[in-house]
């Protein structure tokens, strides 16, 4: 008599209402805790100052964005610890830097420079400590040494040599110090602080919106006033703001900020100011970080749902509802970024990570809605979490809403070619992670029955079909764009080659299955290897520092890519082990009838 099949059962189609309530409460608590933890009160109207506009890097952004981006570059965080040990926001740090030369007392020592290399610490006369963050005053007497080391490292990089960790650390620290000095002395390149004084009456600028005009830098406005020209009211009010902060006069500071906002309404208009307030609110709420944490919660719910098979708890249903809430928040964040930037969803590496995570999450939710075994939840949560984790790292490189290069400054091709290719990446990654799930489920648990394994392999095949179509169409569209921009359809650029490899590999998966060259295990193994190719096209081609799509070598990305390939190669090797070593296969044989279980001819067959 056969034993009942031990496998992960699919839940009923309709989840009880209370699972949605539980997921909503859980998500709300997580988001509220994150928002509450980011709030830091002050007597100064830091939010009002944070929404003040500045023209930097080719776009108009709130001061809060400049502060967060600059502090993230220097210290890999958007908060800092003051001399009293309290965590303070980036805009407070920026004000301290901007007013450091105006303060009556000695400017506070800000430990924001992250130094990791032991040799560099020793040469600067510093001791390694928790947090690895130091103030410039601690190594001020070694700045000459740092400048020499950075100069040598820069010359080596220009000569095409690979920098060692010491040289990389010295060059990064020198660049961070330079950014700090530029902020303190108002000499940041491509930066204007004051919008044109007249918008309607000026015949040249009347037809140009404020974000298309050239704004006046602080030092240029200051010099113009000293040379006898009528002083700009904006300069006078801004000086009041900085002076009040330097002299610790909160009331005067707040009054001056309100006065400056009134002036801005007449110069830049309410529409631009509303967009700046939206960006400031987006920065404060940080919805993508909240989404990242929610995806992690879904991962835990999925694992608990598998490990604690108690139908009454409905953990997988709660996980599905939480994944849906997380993906919806992800969508809101994506649309908000598109509105602020005025561009399609993918414009740089950071936005590609955000978009890929979004696509993987929704594709996982669709898969889960058809077969509620938790696999779709796991794909949505794991891929969404990892993609946003990558985006979190990429945000340390600078403004994530940076202006585009001239050849990329076209919404049509960004909305067609780039979006289509990125969706091809998304589908390829989902197929690969489904393949990883197949291998881990079959090798490490006794619960994958032949029927369940066949169903999962079918999902891998279906997603690979979409990946092939999207990658092919996106690559062709890219060729048409290249023909219009560079005068050739195909130039064997590394990024173009990477896109072509994705198309070829996904087509190989489909033909191998159609020709019965591989079974379910083979499809899973090929999909896992597809992750390696997709990762190479996404990030690896950039590490070559050649071609029209190169964005420069990054040591951290190179290491991450290397370990990603090693891990995937190991998983492919595990997938190729004979099925007699698979736990689920042994369990299925043990549960079968004695005649079947004892027949050696049934062991080791391809599944």
Q: Where are the domains of the chain?
A: 15-44+286-403, 45-203+211-270, 418-591
Evaluate whether 528 touches 440 at the Cβ level (below 8 Å). no
Longest dimension (CA), the chain: 103
Which residue in the block uniquely carries the two structure tokens 């909160």?
A: 250
Mean pLDDT lowest among 158-167, 431-440, 562-571:
158-167
* Arithmetic mean of pLDDT, 75-79: 91
By C-alpha distance, which of 428, 437, 315 is closest to 376?
437
Q: Which tokens belong to 331?
A: 């969508």
pLDDT tens readout for residues 169-193: 999 999 999 999 999 999 999 899 9
User: Tens of pLDDT along 404-454?
Assistant: 665 566 778 788 888 999 999 999 999 999 999 999 999 998 888 888 899
Lowest mean pLDDT among 67-81, 406-420, 458-472: 406-420
Q: What is the pLDDT of residue 326?
A: 97
pLDDT above 60 for 5 = no
How far is Cα 271 from Cα 107, in angstroms, rounded to an integer? 37
Helix axes 287-307, 17-38, angle to 10 degrees: 140
Asked if residues 304 and 315 have their Cβ atoms less than 8 Å apart, the reply is yes
Question: Which tens digit of pLDDT belongs to each residue from 22-59?
Answer: 999 999 999 999 888 877 778 999 999 999 999 998 89
Residue 95's pLDDT is what? 95
Q: What percent of the chain has pLDDT over 70?
A: 88
pLDDT for 90: 95
**What's residue 600's pLDDT?**
45
Give the residue with greater pLDDT, 587 vs 142: 142
Distance (Å) of CA 531 to CA 15, 363, 517, 528: 33, 16, 20, 5
- Eight-class DSSP state of 580: G
Looking at residue 606, what is its pLDDT? Answer: 44
Instruction: Give the three-state DSSP class for 358.
Output: helix
pLDDT of residue 159: 85
Q: What is the pLDDT of residues 475-498, one digit of tens each?
A: 999 999 888 878 888 888 888 899
Rounded distance between C-alpha atoms, residue 64 and residue 279, angstroms: 9
Distance (Å, whole) CA 55 – CA 332: 26
Which residue blocks in 395-519 are alpha helix, DSSP H?
A: 411-413, 419-444, 450-486, 494-514
The rounded Cα 537 to chain-centroid distance in angstroms is 17
Q: Which 3-state string (H, E, C) describes 111-151? A: CCEECCCHHHHHHCCCCCCCCCEECHHHHHHHHHHHHHHHH
Residue 22: CB atoms within 10 A of its CB come to 18
The answer to whether 528 touches 576, Cβ cutoff 8 Å, is: no
Residue 532: pLDDT above 90?
Answer: yes
Angstrom distance (rounded) from CA 454 to CA 460: 10
Q: Exposure string (b/e) for 400-413, b if CB count within 10 Å is 16 or more?
A: bbbbeeeeeebeeb
Buried b (16+ CB within 10 A) or exposed e, 518-534: bbbbbbbbbbbbbbbbb
pLDDT at 367: 93
pLDDT digits (tens, 9 = 90+) for 501-523: 999 999 999 999 999 999 999 99
Taking the C-alpha atoms of residue 98 and residue 253, their distance in angstroms, rounded to an integer, is: 14
**Would you say the C-alpha torsion 245, 247, 253, 257 has a positive or negative sign?**
negative
Please give the model's pTM, rounded to 2 decimal places.
0.89
State the pLDDT at residue 200: 45
User: How sure is the predictor about 290, in pLDDT bands with cuts at 50, 70 and 90?
Assistant: very high
Lookup result for tokens 């060059």: 171
Mean pLDDT score across all residues of the chain = 87
Q: pLDDT-based confidence at 213, cuts 50/70/90?
A: confident
pLDDT in tens, 88-124: 999 999 999 999 887 755 656 789 999 999 999 999 9
pLDDT band of residue 12 (cuts 50, 70, 90) is low
User: Of all residues in the chain, what percent carry a pLDDT higher than 90?
Assistant: 60
Write down the residue that tokens 């301290």 correspond to.
Answer: 96
pLDDT in the model for residue 7: 57
pLDDT exceeds cutoff 50 at 158? yes
Residue 554 clears pLDDT 90, i.e. is over it: no
Q: Encoding tokens for residue 251?
A: 């009331």
Instruction: Give the list of residues 6+ apart from residue 300 with CB closer than 8 angstroms, or none.
Output: none
Polymer length in residues for the chain: 607
pLDDT at 207: 53
Give 3's pLDDT tier (boundaries 50, 70, 90).
very low
């Amino acid at each position: 008599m056969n034993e009942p099949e031990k496998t992960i059962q699919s839940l009923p189609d309709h989840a009880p209402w209370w699972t949605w309530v539980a997921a909503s409460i859980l998500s709300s608590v997580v988001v509220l805790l994150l928002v509450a933890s980011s709030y830091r009160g002050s007597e100064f109207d830091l939010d009002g100052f944070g929404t003040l506009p500045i023209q930097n890097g080719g776009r108009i952004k709130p001061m809060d964005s400049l502060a967060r981006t600059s502090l993230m570059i220097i210290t890999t965080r958007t908060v800092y610890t003051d001399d009293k040990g309290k965590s303070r926001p980036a805009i407070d740090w920026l004000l301290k830097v901007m007013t450091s030369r105006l303060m009556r007392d000695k400017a506070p020592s800000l430990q924001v420079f992250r130094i990791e290399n032991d040799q560099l610490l020793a040469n600067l006369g510093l001791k390694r400590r928790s947090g690895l963050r130091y103030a410039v005053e601690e190594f001020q007497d070694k700045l000459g040494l740092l400048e020499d080391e950075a100069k040598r490292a820069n010359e080596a990089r220009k000569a095409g040599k690979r920098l060692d960790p010491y040289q990389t650390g010295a060059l990064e620290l020198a660049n961070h110090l330079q950014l700090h000095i530029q902020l303190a002395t108002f000499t940041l390149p491509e930066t204007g602080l004051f919008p044109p004084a007249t918008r309607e009456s000026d015949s040249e600028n009347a037809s140009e919106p404020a974000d298309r005009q050239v704004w006046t830098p602080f030092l240029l406005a200051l010099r113009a006033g000293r040379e006898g020209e009528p002083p700009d009211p904006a300069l006078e009010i801004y000086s009041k703001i900085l002076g009040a902060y330097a002299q610790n006069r909160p009331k005067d500071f707040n009054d001056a900020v309100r006065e400056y906002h009134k002036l801005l309404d007449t110069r830049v208009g309410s529409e631009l100011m509303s967009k700046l307030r939206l960006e400031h609110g987006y920065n404060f709420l940080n919805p993508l970080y909240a989404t990242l944490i929610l995806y992690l919660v879904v991962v835990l719910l999925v694992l608990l749902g598998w490990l604690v098979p108690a139908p009454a708890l409905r953990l997988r249903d709660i996980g599905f509802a939480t994944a849906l809430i997380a993906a919806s928040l992800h969508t809101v964040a994506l649309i908000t970024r598109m509105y602020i930037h005025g561009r399609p969803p993918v414009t740089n590496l950071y936005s590609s990570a955000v978009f890929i995570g979004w696509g993987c999450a929704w594709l996982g939710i669709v898969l889960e809605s058809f077969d509620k075994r938790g696999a779709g939840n796991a794909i949505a949560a794991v891929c969404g979490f990892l993609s946003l984790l990558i985006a979190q790292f990429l945000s340390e490189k600078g403004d994530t809403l940076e202006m585009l290069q001239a050849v990329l400054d076209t919404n049509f091709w960004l909305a067609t070619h780039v979006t289509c290719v990125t969706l091809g990446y998304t589908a390829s990654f989902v197929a690969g992670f489904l393949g990883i799930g197949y291998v881990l489920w079959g090798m490490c648990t006794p619960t994958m029955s032949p029927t369940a394994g066949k169903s999962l392999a079918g999902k891998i095949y279906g997603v690979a079909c979409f990946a092939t179509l999207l990658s092919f169409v996106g690559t062709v569209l890219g060729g048409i764009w290249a023909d219009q921009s560079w005068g050739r359809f195909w130039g064997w650029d590394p990024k173009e080659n990477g896109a072509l490899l994705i198309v070829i590999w996904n087509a190989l998966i489909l033909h191998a299955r159609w020709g019965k060259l591989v079974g379910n295990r083979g499809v899973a193994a090929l999909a896992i290897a597809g992750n390696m190719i997709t990762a190479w096209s996404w990030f690896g081609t950039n590490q070559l520092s050649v071609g029209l799509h190169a964005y420069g070598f990054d040591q951290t990305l190179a290491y991450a890519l290397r370990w990603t390939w090693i891990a995937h190669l190991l998983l492919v090797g595990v997938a190729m082990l004979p099925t007699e070593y698979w736990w689920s296969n042994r369990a299925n044989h043990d549960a079968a009838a004695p005649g079947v279980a004892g027949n050696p001819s049934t062991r080791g067959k391809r599944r």
